[in-house]
Amino acid sequence: MTTPSQADVRQTVLRLLGEIAPEADLALLRPDRNVREQLDLDSMDFLNFIVALHKQFGIEIPESAYPELTTIDGCVTFIRNKLAQP
């Protein structure tokens, strides 16, 4: 299976964040900054986001990886690396 492009993964990540924080203007998000701080996500929101990533991409996400997933750039890199694994 081909790994989806960076742009596709980024778009999906943004869509999932939009479902967690529907009032947010995602165009204003800085991809290298902490999304929890930018969107005022609490731990429940963040867990729901992790579950959504898991379901959407079919990847396992250990708790130890959570810090990598706090930025959009980090999410894209983590997801693509996971999907590229055999």
Partner 1 sequence: MPILGADMEKGTLIAWKKQPGERVGKGEIIAEVETDKAAIEVESFTAGVIEKLLVKPGEVVPVGSVMAIIRTEGEVGAPPSGAVPSTAAPSVTVPPVTTTPLPSPAGTPEPGRLKISPSARQLARELGVDPAGVTGTGPDGAITRADIERMRGERVAAKKKETAADTAIDRQTRMRQVIAAAMARSKREIPHYYLGTSIDLGRAMAWLAEENGRRPVADRLLPGVLLIKAVALALREVPELNALWKGTEAVRSDAIHVGVAISLRQGGLMAPALHHADRQSLGDLMRKLQDLVKRARAGTLRSSELSDPTITVTSLGEQSVETVYGVIYPPQVALVGFGQVVQRPWVVEGRVEARPIVTATLSADHRVTDGHRGARYLAAVDRLLQEPERL
Reference 13, options 31, 25, 37; nearest CA is 31
Give the number of residues in contact with partner 1, rule: CB under 8 A.
Answer: 16
Give 33 or 55: the residue with its C-beta nearer to partner 1: 55
Options 3-11, 25-33, 44-52, 77-85: segment touching partner 1 (CB under 8 A): 44-52
Using CA atoms, how far residue 29 sits from 33, 38, 39, 62, in Å, is: 8, 7, 8, 25
Does 25 bind partner 1 (CB under 8 A)? Our answer is no
CA distance 79 to 28: 22
Task: Give residues in contact with partner 1 (CB under 8 A).
Answer: 21, 23, 40, 42-44, 47-48, 50-51, 54-55, 60-63
